[in-house]
Amino acid sequence: MSAPVKYSHQREAIVDYLKSTKSHPTAEVVYENIRLIIPNISLGTVYRNLNQLADCGRILRLCCDGKNVHYDGFTHPHCHFMCESCGNVSDMDMDFPTDLLNKAKRLKDNNINNVSIVFTGICNTCKSIE
């Protein structure tokens, strides 16, 4: 994690939006929603702020499928589910294995700061379409 970023109205609007949704949006979706509040914001500014916020740990950056990056305003340890069909990312309603990070730190002689658990499969919506 890098040093905290300075306050900006744009960054705070992005954090507020991410904390208000459980949809784990992509940068493009964040951009479309932030434009409703800050009409003159650019997509590049949204990307830059998302990266800064993720780098300093204020939001989570989720790279679930190697193609799309999703963002989460809730930084507490929790598990995610990604649909292999539609790409939707959602929180898993389950207890997070809190001892997992400590076990990994004991097993690996590296500085481990965080853990991400992403389950993949087919969501109920896509399953009902098949």
Contacts 24+ apart (CB under 8 A), 48-55: 49/8, 49/10, 49/11, 49/14, 50/14, 52/5, 52/11, 53/5, 53/11, 53/14, 53/15, 55/1, 55/2
pLDDT confidence of residue 65:
78
Select 9-129's CATH number: 1.10.10.10, 3.20.20.60, 3.40.640.10, 3.40.50.720: 1.10.10.10
> Two tokens at 11?
């960054």
Q: What is d(CA 61, CA 48) in angstroms, rounded to the nearest whole number?
A: 13
Q: For each successive 10 residues of the chain (130 residues), what is the average pLDDT?
A: 74 97 96 97 97 94 87 92 93 86 80 84 90
